[in-house]
């Protein structure tokens, strides 16, 4: 395989050359080149500079080279995950349009100051916590701006969703009259009346098309209940997603879900030093499914005993998985399955490590607190809590830089997953302050955070809050 380094340099040179061409053309023709701040203002807008033939050609070259450069430098798995999760951007966009976010922000007048999401949500009649994740995903894609944590403003792209109507007319009736071109397109690509949504599918992409009605219905938008999710609304069921998986007729879906949750099992070794755990220590994989995440731990650290905990309907799948992958671990008792509801009293008292991989993002704060409280009750001073989940950054401008603090599309997957978790479970990915608050309220103290390179997930390690700091 030949090195791609020469191609990297070629692509960078193409981008630099294209930018130089635009600079020269603008200087020669006395043109301005628009930024993302400000609103789009129709046919007389500064955006017309991009329609100048020489500028348009340079733009085409820059975009082509930049997208090729991104595909080249970004890990293949990251690119694939971004492509898979891209439907969440459309769902978030339709939701912002249905809630008239652009008009609400336009009504502020001062784009630079923006509006706190609490105030936006109050006017839109939806949950500020959920709306923040929707808007942050869009801001990560440079649709809207997060000018300060949880403070959002319109930009040139989001202003294209403006209906042009006064805010009072937009909010009543709830579905505004079509006016502007891209506003019309956003209306056209989903049912005109929110009540027209109808589906019995639980597939994520199909569920996402129902997000506008979910966020516009107060009994769902403001609820953290397990059976008040987008999944429940679309499927007209009181069963939670996990209860649905537990149905006998859904064994194939449950199996597929387990495989999907285990696709990044090797990540488990990259963000925490498992060799620092004492020999003969006990590791509890809480809600671990068949134990895919624990497999590399068992193979690499033979002195550890691993308890994989989940609901009864997982047990047969777990044993079949380990018989195929690492039968010796089962035979010697180094790995065993335990039936455990993580909302109940923890069976393993005083374990050395309690591992929660891709668990907390499935649940709202109130349920996460219950899970963490049960583990804190079981923990001893030496116990460690290892949480593997995304840690989101705000989509604000980085200090002194030109890039977003969350690195924009490079961290798209975590923000897309946050909207997805909200839709399926009333869960969410969390910022570091949100994790710290959750730990503090449940008797844990954040000790460290490590994010393996180019992974969207981080290792968040906590200890009992009454343990003295080093």
Active site amino acids: 361
DSSP assignment of 159-185, as one string? Answer: GGG---S-HHHHHSSSSPPP-SHHHHH
- Whole-angstrom distance, CA of residue 316 vs CA of residue 325: 14
**Judging by beta carbons within 10 Å of its beta carbon (0-12, 13-18, 19+), is residue 355 exposed, middle or buried?**
buried
Residue with token string 């963490």: 372
Task: Please check whether residue 385 is in contact with residue 314, taking contact to mean a CB–CB distance below 8 angstroms.
Answer: no
Largest Cα separation within the chain, whole Å, is 78
C-alpha pair distances (Å), 446 with each of 86, 170, 381, 434, 463: 32, 44, 14, 11, 7
| Nearest Cα residue to 23 out of 51, 47, 61, 58 | 58
> Per the omega criterion (within 30 degrees of 0), is the bond before 173 cis?
yes
Neighbouring CB atoms inside 10 A of 248's CB total 7
In angstroms, what is the C-alpha Rg of the chain? 25
Q: Residue 300: in which H helix or E strand, if any?
A: helix 295-300
Task: Please check whether residue 105 is in contact with residue 153, taking contact to mean a CB–CB distance below 8 angstroms.
Answer: yes
C-alpha pair distances (Å), 374 with each of 176, 347, 354, 355, 383: 48, 10, 11, 13, 13
- Whole-angstrom distance, CA of residue 445 vs CA of residue 438: 9
Neighbouring CB atoms inside 10 A of 385's CB total 25
234 three-class SS = helix
Task: Please check whether residue 301 is in contact with residue 273, taking contact to mean a CB–CB distance below 8 angstroms.
Answer: no
């Amino acid at each position: 395989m030949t090195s791609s380094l020469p191609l990297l340099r070629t692509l960078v040179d193409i981008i630099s050359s294209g930018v130089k061409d635009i600079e020269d053309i603008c200087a020669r023709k006395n043109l301005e080149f628009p930024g993302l701040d400000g609103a789009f203002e129709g046919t007389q807008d500064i955006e017309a500079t991009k329609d100048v033939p020489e500028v348009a050609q340079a733009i085409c070259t820059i975009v082509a080279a930049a997208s090729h450069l991104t595909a080249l430098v970004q890990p293949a798995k990251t690119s694939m995950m971004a492509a898979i999760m891209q439907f969440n951007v459309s769902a978030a966009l339709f939701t912002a349009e249905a809630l008239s976010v652009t008009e609400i922000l336009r009504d502020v007048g001062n784009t630079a100051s923006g509006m706190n999401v609490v105030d936006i949500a109050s006017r839109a009649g939806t949950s500020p916590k959920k709306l923040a994740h929707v808007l942050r995903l869009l801001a990560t894609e440079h649709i809207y701006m997060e000018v300060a944590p949880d403070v959002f403003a319109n930009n040139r792209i989001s202003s294209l969703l403006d209906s042009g109507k006064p805010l009072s007319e937009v909010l009543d009736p709830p579905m505004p009259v079509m006016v502007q071109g891209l506003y019309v397109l956003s209306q056209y690509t989903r049912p005109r009346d929110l009540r027209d949504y109808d589906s019995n599918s639980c597939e994520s992409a199909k569920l996402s098309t129902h997000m506008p009605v979910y966020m516009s219905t107060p009994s769902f938008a403001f609820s953290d209940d397990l059976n008040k999710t987008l999944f429940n609304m679309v499927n007209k069921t009181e069963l939670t997603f996990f209860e649905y998986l537990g149905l006998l007729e859904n064994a194939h879906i449950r199996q597929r879900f387990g495989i999907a949750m285990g696709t990044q099992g090797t990540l488990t070794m990259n963000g925490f030093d498992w060799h620092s755990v004492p020999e003969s220590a006990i590791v509890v994989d809480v809600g671990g499914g068949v134990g895919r995440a624990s497999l590399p731990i068992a193979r690499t650290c033979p002195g550890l005993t691993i308890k994989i905990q989940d609901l009864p309907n997982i047990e047969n799948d777990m044993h079949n998985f380990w018989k195929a992958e690492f039968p010796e671990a089962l035979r010697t008792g180094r790995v065993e399955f335990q039936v455990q509801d993580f909302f109940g009293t923890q069976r393993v008292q005083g374990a050395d490590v309690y591992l929660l991989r891709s668990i907390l993002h499935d649940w709202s704060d109130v349920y996460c607190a219950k899970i963490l409280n049960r583990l804190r009750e079981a923990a001893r001073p030496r116990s460690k809590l290892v949480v593997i989940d995304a840690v989101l950054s705000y989509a604000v401008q980085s200090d002194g830089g030109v890039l977003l603090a969350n690195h924009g599309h490079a961290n798209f997957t975590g923000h897309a997953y946050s909207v997805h978790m909200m839709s399926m479970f009333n869960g969410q990915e969390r910022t570091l302050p949100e994790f710290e608050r959750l730990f503090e309220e449940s008797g844990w103290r954040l000790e460290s955070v490590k994010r393996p390179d180019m992974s969207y997930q981080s290792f968040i390690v906590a200890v009992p809050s009454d343990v003295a700091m080093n």
